[in-house]
Amino acid sequence: MVCGAAEEAETLCIKSGASHQKVDEIARDFDHIEIQVKLPMCDLVARTGRAQQRYEDGYRLVAGCVPFRYKSSDDCVDSTSEKIVEVLLISSPSGPGLLFPKGGWENDETVEEAAAREAIEEAGVRGDLMDFLGYYEFRSKTHQDEFSPEGLCKAAMFALFVKEELQFWPEQSTRDRTWLTVSEALGSLRHAWMRDALECFCKWHEKLVGGT
């Protein structure tokens, strides 16, 4: 599926009562519903080159994720019973604006493994890879080659519940990472397709918390 245009979103909060309890239950249960992705330690070295890059119908295939966590809000009336969803964005060495971690899906890995690997390489985070959020098509001037002369790309995006932030990671010298609320992230993301992915993440999370 390809999600539609982004809509205006407010800070995504999980308020007191049953919803807050539901979030705690979901966080505890993530180990049981995650997509099983086990990456070897050698994947702490970033992959380079395109010898194993996947292509389909003129599109370079990409995998990425929306990394998220829950944080207690100090600004709420009852800060002990409300949590805010934050998402992790990273800087780009090629220009302004922030991004979600993503990169090429290669022939020797599943799309889930590719998404988890890119989260480690670009953002230095590990966690539970959750549901598939959708496919997103975009054009990249920096990824034009003989298999995709127009630089067409198709990204498969997943939700990633972050459990570990690495002190050292492959691309830390060229990327900064920043935790933001959903509304802050919508105003900071460089690409429209990533804002669309964030909107789909919000809808997915609402269903997850609501149990529907």
What share of the chain has pLDDT > 70, as a percent?
67
Cα separation, 100 vs 195, in Å, equals 10
Kindly report the pTM of this predicted structure.
0.78
20 compared with 10, residue with greater pLDDT: 20
**What's the rounded mean pLDDT across residues 127-150?**
82
Q: Could you tell me the CA-to-CA distances from 38 to 112, 165, 198, 210 in Å, in that order?
A: 10, 16, 25, 29
**What pLDDT was estimated at residue 4?**
46
Q: Which residue type is seen at 188?
A: S
pLDDT top residue among 19 and 179: 179
Residues in the chain: 212
What whole-number distance in Å separates Cα of residue 147 and Cα of residue 85? 39
Question: Could you tell me the residue ranges of all domains in the chain?
Answer: 13-37+50-210
Whether residue 170 has pLDDT greater than 60: yes
Neighbours of 54 (CB within 10 A): 20
CATH number, span 13-37+50-210: 3.90.79.10
- What pLDDT, in 10s, does the model give residues 22-75? 666 666 665 544 555 555 544 555 555 556 899 999 899 999 999 999 998 765
Q: Kindly report the backbone phi and psi dihedral angles of residue 67, in degrees, each rounded to the nearest multiple of 5, phi listed first.
A: -75, 135
Q: How confident is the model at residue 80 (pLDDT cuts 50, 70, 90)?
A: very low
Distance of CA 61 to the CA centre of its chain: 16
Q: Residue 45 gets which letter from DSSP?
A: S
Q: Count of CB atoms within 10 A of residue 147's CB?
A: 15
What is the pLDDT confidence band of residue 212, given thresholds at 50, 70 and 90?
Answer: low
Nearest 5 degrees, angle CA 133-CA 139-CA 144? 125
